[in-house]
């Protein structure tokens, strides 16, 4: 259902962009200046590539997560800690109404955890060895509840949806800008000249930065939702205690690959970096739970 929503939303975005483009007169304005683009074909092209890239990343997310972190899936618990971890995840998943995810561990001194997967009933939840060593059982349970909250909320699919939409915008508008520069400024009347390639290149960089800010804003928003889900599943005070513990350990560098940063745990950025951070500052997350 969420994949269908993904496709329908991107189709709706393409249709809305096309309608608004014509209603505001942009197409006729560009054509009067010699910009002879086939806007329908361009919009379809950008929508397809925007969607396919996000869908591909979503479908291989579990595979890439395992390879990127060296996560070992617990198929048969080797000790009491692993048995407790699997039982805890099973209980949390049952309470959240989702299928039992795969449970994994990877070697790292930094306390961290992540959840990923395209299907809420076939996800992956993993923790670092450092998290198991440095946190109390109730705090570990709260962190796992937070990750289960991501799965139950469908955050992986929704974030891919948002990424697909902004990818479509970036591809479409960067090529419109490049073509306009080529025709209007460089006075190229046929084909794609140097102005197109230069304009598209720099427009795509600028628009990608703006798009990243939008995606990261949504990522920060869903962290609050996952914290709330973790508080419901494991107890509000346990969730607060886990975040405080993470804050105390936050100086240890994270070893998660870039593509998993948004689904791990993070102290958040500072100053301008916060606009490009996938997580809000831990102090703000703790305050949100305290005021809940």
Over residues 41-68, the pLDDT tens digits come to: 777 788 888 888 888 888 898 998 899 8
- How open is the CA angle 229-71-216, to the nearest 5 degrees? 45
Q: Would you please indicate which residues are annotated as catalytic (active-site) residues?
A: 147
Pairwise CA distance, residues 241 & 72, whole Å: 27
Q: What is the pLDDT of residue 39?
A: 72
| Contact indicator for 150, 263 with CB cutoff of 8 Å | yes
Pairwise CA distance, residues 183 & 37, whole Å: 11
In which element (H, E) is residue 106 found? Answer: strand 102-106
Q: What is the pLDDT of residue 286?
A: 95
| Contact indicator for 33, 225 with CB cutoff of 8 Å | no
Q: What is the pLDDT of residue 22?
A: 58
User: Which stretches of the chain drop beneath a pLDDT of 70?
Assistant: 1-38, 251-273
Q: What is the pLDDT of residue 126?
A: 95
Q: What is the pLDDT of residue 28?
A: 60
Beta bridge partners of 128: 106
Smallest CA-to-CA distance from 180 within 46, 16, 42 is with 42
Q: Which two tokens stand for residue 283?
A: 């102090």
Q: What is the pLDDT of residue 207?
A: 92
């Amino acid at each position: 259902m969420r994949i269908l929503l993904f496709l329908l939303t991107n189709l709706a975005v393409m249709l809305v962009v096309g309608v608004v483009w014509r209603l505001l007169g942009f197409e006729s304005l560009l054509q009067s200046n010699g910009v002879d683009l086939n806007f329908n074909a361009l919009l379809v092209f950008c929508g397809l590539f925007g969607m396919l890239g996000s869908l591909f990343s979503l479908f291989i997310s579990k595979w890439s997560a395992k390879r990127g972190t060296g996560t070992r899936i617990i198929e048969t618990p080797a000790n009491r800690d692993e048995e407790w971890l699997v039982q805890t995840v099973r209980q949390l998943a049952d309470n959240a109404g989702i299928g039992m995810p795969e449970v994994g561990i990877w070697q790292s001194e930094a306390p961290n955890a992540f959840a990923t997967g395209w299907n809420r009933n076939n996800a992956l939840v993993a923790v670092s060895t450092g998290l198991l060593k440095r946190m109390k059982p109730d705090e570990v349970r709260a962190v796992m509840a937070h990750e289960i909250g991501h799965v139950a909320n469908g955050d992986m699919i929704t974030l891919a949806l948002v990424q697909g939409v902004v990818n479509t915008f970036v591809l479409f508008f960067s090529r419109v800008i490049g073509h306009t520069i080529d025709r209007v400024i460089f006075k190229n009347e046929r084909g794609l000249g140097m102005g197109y390639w230069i304009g598209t290149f720099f427009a795509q960089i600028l628009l990608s930065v703006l798009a990243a800010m939008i995606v990261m804003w949504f990522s920060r928003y869903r962290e609050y939702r996952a914290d709330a889900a973790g508080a419901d599943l494991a107890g509000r005070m346990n969730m607060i205690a886990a975040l405080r513990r993470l804050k105390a350990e936050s100086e240890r560098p994270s070893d998660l690959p870039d593509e998993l940063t948004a689904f791990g745990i993070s102290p958040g950025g500072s100053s301008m970096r916060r606009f490009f951070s996938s997580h809000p500052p831990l102090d703000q997350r703790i305050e949100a739970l305290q005021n809940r």
